[in-house]
Structure 1
Amino acid sequence: MSSAALSPERLYADAAVAEPLKALIAKVGQRSGEFPVCLANHLPMVLEAMARLGAGPERLEAYAGIYTASHSVPFPPAPVAPLDAESWRFALGRREREADLRRFFEGLVAELGGAEAVRQTMPVLAPGVAASATHGLMRLAYAVLRADDREIAAALGYWAATYLCYEDVPASRIADLDDPLAHLLSMRDEPSFYGVEAPTHLLWKWIEAMGHMQEFRDRLGRMRVGPDFLDRIRPAALALYAGTMSFEALHAVTGCHWLRLVSPVIDAPQTLARHFWEVVMALYTKIGMPPVPAPELLDEWRSLPLPDDRAIAAAAVASDDEHDHSLVFSAFEEFRYTGDRLYKVVAARRVGLIA
């Protein structure tokens, strides 16, 4: 059963949160997808995550106020000029066109419906999944989860305005690899990947810098993809995060959840997943390219005693760190999908309930 068909009683521990949450997301969703300087605005998404983890209306309202004020989240820049079915593509990656892109996608969603608008535009957007360090994908995933056409339009506009892709892979490039984790780990043998320099600490700037390295570009397009590709990258992402608990690897885990949410409404989800995994490969260099834990160690961690799910969720809800809400919600959802207890282990570690 899709989440859109579920009653509020099934979606939220506090059923009374449904209507206030809808209004609150509509309100905060009017602001820009980023706040100064070029950092992702997580608020529309983590409000949904917090509500599904048990937050009540008062906590959500308070958190929205804290987040908006502490990050000085702005509204999009003033519109420049209307966009149409052809010209929107020329606005890709131009943050100053966010308002124009939103208006274009609002019209497209009104005409086609949210899901069809996503399906028709994803062939253009998918190569630029690094948009705002993959947070365009995050916003779209939560909009699809909510079946919220207003948020779908905002998400598509945000993704388009912050679009970031690597140059086209040569037609002669042969996709000859099947193991995404092995392809990731093979990067440890390339000396140049240990001296990467990026102009700022921003994740998307690091991703962009990696695209200027020929040694990295030579690795793009090498993965064979098929219907099972997301199932192949999911355990690799989880192992990387379990071993590092790093900010960068966190996004690999949550990103697999976002891909799963978006996949049913697009025609080539495996292609989007390949582009996403190449972003993970770029960020692997930022954390020093550590080895992943041995399977035996991962199994030991899976057997660790854990707090009750409600305690983990409550710790996330009480946090003011948007990445706590994001990781715990995605980890719980991926556990429900896979049954892998390691998701609960990393969730408990993230919120400080186990070492």
Structure 2
Amino acid sequence: MTIDEAVAHEGPFDEALERFHRTGPEFEGWLSNHGPMAVEALARNGHDAQIHAWTDDYLNRLDERPRGLSPITPEGWRDPLGDPLRTGDWIDFFLREVRERPWRDVLDIWWPRLLPGIAAGATHGVIRVGHAVAALEVVENEPRIEEFGHALAYWAARWLPVPVVRPQGGADPAAAISGVPAVGDQRFGIRSRIAQLDDEFASAAAKFAAGEPGQERAKVEQIADAAVAFYATHGHGQPTMLVHAATAPNAVARVMPLLRPEHQRPSLEAAWTATAAVVAAYRPAAEVSGQRVPATPEEVIESAAAHGGEHVIKFADTAVRSYQRTGSADALAAAQRAIELDA
């Protein structure tokens, strides 16, 4: 079974989506519901046979889908943006949107509106949208269209703006990531850490080279590649959170072929800002290098699926995509490191 055939299989994957749509996008407070994202990665990488059991186990951790408080109208979307108390209203709103118009039209309207808040849910909003789009590009059916609506709703409810960095330097992604300074106080959560991003951060992040027009998607993929490699030596700083420095730009890259030309550069800038912000928030004081047992992409995915951790599965998927682009064993080593660290 090929990767595309796996994700096109309208059995375990779509059934899992229907089950997850009875749950909320978060549980136990701020924890993100990774179910739809993880099962998409499992299906696309040929592990759809594991989806039922994985879903059964994960559902035990989740909360029910939240109810709405007051309907959101197409004209009145700005005030509830970023209000998690309106999560149920956002779900209702976007399910109406995707049922009444083509999902690509909904993406065209809402991507530029949501993009400035790319830090939403510790970047899980845009990541969930990326997984939803990846599935829809293979098969368009009701569970996948509704998953796209749920993903947009989560992004809107947790919308968190970050001052977008306008790259204007000459550094490649690896060098630019290396130069991003850590925030001073790493005791608290991501909102506290993002609030500490200052002029020193902006100056360092601006050294990234954005490239010429038409290169935006390739540059975003390079950001993901560099963040994957960074994880291999720095993931111990915060094994779970540093995953998102790579999975967020990976999600943006998945969506970019569907975007208008005028949305390409803002998407690149937002993706780089998200990666730089996560690195600044969680980078450790020192790197750690280690020997890894050589592995194939198939073995890495198999190990991640056997581990079962939602972040491990998503990061392994991102790392394998990086390996397919670069041929770098460092990408596969990074996935092994995530498994070792129990990300």
- Partner residue, 1:324: 312
- Are residues 1:177 and 2:169 paired? yes
Equivalent positions of 1:154-303 (< 5 A) are 154-167=150-163, 176-179=168-171, 180-188=173-181, 193=182, 195-197=184-186, 200=188, 202=189, 204-211=190-197, 213=198, 215-216=200-201, 225=210, 226-228=213-215, 229-246=219-236, 247=239, 248-267=241-260, 268-288=263-283
Gap regions ≥5 residues in structure 2: 137-143
Q: For structure 1, which segment, 334-343 or 253-262, has the greater mean C-alpha deviation from structure 2 after superposition?
A: 334-343
- Are residues 1:335 and 2:323 paired? yes
- Are residues 1:115 and 2:104 paired? yes
Q: Deviations over 1:213-264 (max 9, x none)?
A: 4544566777564433314423431331122134233222222321221111
Contact kept? 2:167, 2:269, Cα under 8 Å: no
What's the TM-score once normalised by structure 1's chain length?
Answer: 0.79
Q: For structure 1, which segment, 309-318 or 121-130, has the greater mean C-alpha deviation from structure 2 after superposition?
A: 309-318
Gap regions ≥5 residues in structure 1: 1-8
> Do the aligned partners of residues 220 and 120 (structure 1) sit closer, same or farther apart at CA in structure 2, a change above 3 Å counting?
farther
> Do the aligned partners of residues 272 and 15 (structure 1) sit closer, same or farther apart at CA in structure 2, a change above 3 Å counting?
closer
Match of 1:306 among 286, 294, 313: 294
- Are residues 1:68 and 2:59 paired? yes
- Cα distance between partner residues in 2 of 1:319 and 1:156: 29
Match of 1:79 among 52, 57, 68: 68
- Are residues 1:351 and 2:339 paired? yes
Contact kept? 1:210, 1:216, Cα under 8 Å: no
- Partner residue, 2:47: 55
Q: What amino acid is the match of 1:11?
A: I
What's the TM-score once normalised by structure 2's chain length?
Answer: 0.82
Aligned residues: 323
- Cα distance between partner residues in 1 of 2:273 and 2:125: 16
Q: State the shift of 1:322 in Å.
A: 0.8
> Do the aligned partners of residues 175 and 257 (structure 1) sit closer, same or farther apart at CA in structure 2, a change above 3 Å counting?
closer
- Cα distance between partner residues in 1 of 2:7 and 2:178: 45
Contact kept? 2:168, 2:206, Cα under 8 Å: no
- Cα distance between partner residues in 2 of 1:184 and 1:15: 33
Q: Deviations over 1:292-334 (max 9, x none)?
A: 79xxx9xx98xx7623443322221111311111111222223
Q: State the shift of 1:139 in Å.
A: 0.8
- Cα distance between partner residues in 2 of 1:143 and 1:120: 16
Contact kept? 1:113, 1:149, Cα under 8 Å: no
Give the root-mean-square deviation of aligned CA atoms.
3.1
- Partner residue, 2:141: none
